[in-house]
């Protein structure tokens, strides 16, 4: 973690000074610019066709992905001068727990196709820096393995909703027993989005048993298939072409992996849609915070309150699910106009978070000014992991939090508490 002030406040902005004083620039990534990190990740993964685009790609024409950035840039920060804002405080309290910043590592699947460390890289990096890590249901490591890598680090579990209640209950039991305190129920991925880049290559790691490790390690799910759970880790690098060749040739191991992979897809996110009434059994089974991810309409945000959810993540899945969807920041703006949402948030009974389009410290300020209490970061840390494993993820976290710290000072803000819900004073919207 960055230096700490005399009153115990982490000073993330000191990372900028550390880079200047090092005389050798930011290591190990060599840059603090998201676009440059992205380019380096593309180059690093060029010999693994489809790997980069699994995370970096988006649905349809990518209009939702690009719309997130365009819309974010239309909100502009209005700086104030001569404000004593030393020792800026980035700490936030979510569901009764205080964290060093409003940043969480959002859930991203099949990390084992990007780095040999798989989900261990973000889990260890997040734990080291005190940042909550949200584990994906599409991980290439089991719940138990990720928990062990995370150690005492804060961690939440993201659930792709199984068809069968007994499988759901088994996953929740494992998550709770392994120290995952928050449950993020993803609603916008009941089936995969229309992703031309994946369709062109028939790129589906799950079909080769990669990203199905949560399922293959689950005793209830595996018993339904007449099998015993396993804690096998996929080999790295993942070669989709070679795996498919083995499958076509009838390789027994490849056939078994494919059968298991498609069974897990059918169980978790291959076209089974739910209703609001279906949330109740999950709510009843999970003792900790229940957060609904993928909310984009104000009516759905209000419904989340009605059915007893503890919070939402306003998200369009980074543009990966529905082409032409509303930019996530506009969805947040609309939702936070609801008196019901604002009242529930103010009472402390409902937490609003945000993702899809966060790239800089200024983006975090904008989202928090509009009412988000925390933000989830996705692609940037994935690219950091692809380039340098755990150390790459650590640098990405330090970059964005240092940027946030410095940007707060430049805007004349004493900390994130000065930002929350004050869009009318902090932001303006431009049309260019």
Binding site, annotated residues for glyoxylate: 54, 160, 195, 317, 320
Tracing tokens 């990190």 back to the chain, one arrives at 37
Specify the DSSP element, H or E, that contains 148: helix 143-150
CA atoms in the 13 A half-sphere facing the CB of 307? 22
Q: Is 306 exposed, middle or buried (0-12, 13-18, 19+ CB in 10 A)?
A: exposed
Residue 118 Cα to chain centre, angstroms:
15
Out of 164, 208, 297, 317, which one is annotated catalytic? 317
Rounded CA-CA distance 419/424 in Å is: 10
Rounded CA-CA distance 423/414 in Å is: 15
Residue 170 CB coordination number (10 Å) = 18
Residue 164 annotated among the catalytic residues of the structure: no
User: Is the bond preceding residue 380 a cis peptide, omega within 30 degrees?
Assistant: no
Name the residue among 374, 393, 372, 371 with its Cα closest to residue 382: 393
343 phi-psi bin (left φ>0, alpha ψ -120 to 50, beta other)? alpha
Residue 22 CB coordination number (10 Å) = 10
Show Cβ contacts of residue 424 under 8 Å, excluding neighbours closer than 6 positions: none
Catalytic residues: 317
């Amino acid at each position: 973690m960055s230096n700490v002030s005399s009153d115990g406040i982490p000073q993330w902005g000191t990372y900028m000074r550390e880079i200047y004083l090092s005389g050798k620039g930011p290591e190990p990534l060599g840059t603090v610019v998201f676009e440059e990190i992205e380019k380096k990740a593309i180059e690093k993964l060029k010999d693994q066709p489809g790997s980069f685009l699994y995370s970096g790609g988006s649905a349809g024409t990518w209009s939702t992905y690009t719309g997130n950035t365009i819309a974010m840039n239309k909100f502009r920060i209005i700086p104030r001068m001569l404000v004593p804002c030393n020792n800026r405080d980035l700490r936030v309290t979510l569901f009764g727990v205080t964290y060093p910043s409003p940043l969480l590592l959002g859930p991203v699947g099949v990390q084992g196709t990007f780095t040999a460390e798989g989900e261990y890289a973000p889990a260890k990096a997040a734990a080291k820096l005190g940042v909550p890590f949200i584990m994906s249901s599409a991980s290439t490591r089991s719940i138990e393995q990720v928990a062990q890598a995370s150690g005492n680090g804060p961690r939440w579990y993201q659930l792709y909703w199984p068809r069968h209640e007994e499988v759901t209950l088994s996953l929740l039991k494992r998550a709770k027993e392994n120290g995952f305190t928050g449950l993020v129920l993803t609603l916008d991925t009941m089936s995969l989005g229309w992703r031309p880049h994946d369709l062109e290559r028939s790129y589906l790691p799950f079909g080769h048993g990669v990203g199905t490790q949560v399922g293959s390690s689950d005793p209830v799910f595996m018993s339904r298939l007449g099998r015993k759970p396993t804690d096998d880790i996929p080999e790295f690098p993942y070669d989709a072409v070679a795996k498919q060749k083995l499958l076509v040739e009838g390789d027994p191991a490849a056939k078994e992996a494919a059968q298991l992979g498609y069974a897990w897809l059918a169980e978790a996110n291959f076209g089974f849609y739910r209703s609001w009434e279906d949330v109740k059994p999950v709510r009843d089974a999970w003792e900790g915070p229940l957060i609904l991810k993928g909310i984009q309409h104000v009516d759905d945000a209000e419904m989340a309150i009605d059915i007893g959810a503890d919070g939402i993540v306003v998200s369009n899945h980074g543009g990966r699910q529905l082409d032409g969807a509303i930019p996530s920041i506009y969805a947040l703006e609309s939702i936070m106009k609801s008196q019901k949402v604002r009242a529930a948030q103010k009472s402390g009974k409902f937490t609003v978070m945000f993702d899809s389009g966060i790239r800089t410290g200024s983006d975090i300020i904008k989202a928090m000014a509009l009412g988000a209490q925390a933000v989830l970061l996705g692609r940037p840390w994935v690219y950091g992991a692809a380039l340098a494993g755990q150390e790459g993820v650590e640098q990405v976290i330090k970059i964005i939090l240092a940027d946030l710290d410095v940007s707060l000072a430049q805007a004349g803000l004493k900390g994130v508490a000065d930002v929350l819900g004050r869009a009318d004073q902090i932001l303006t919207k431009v049309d260019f």
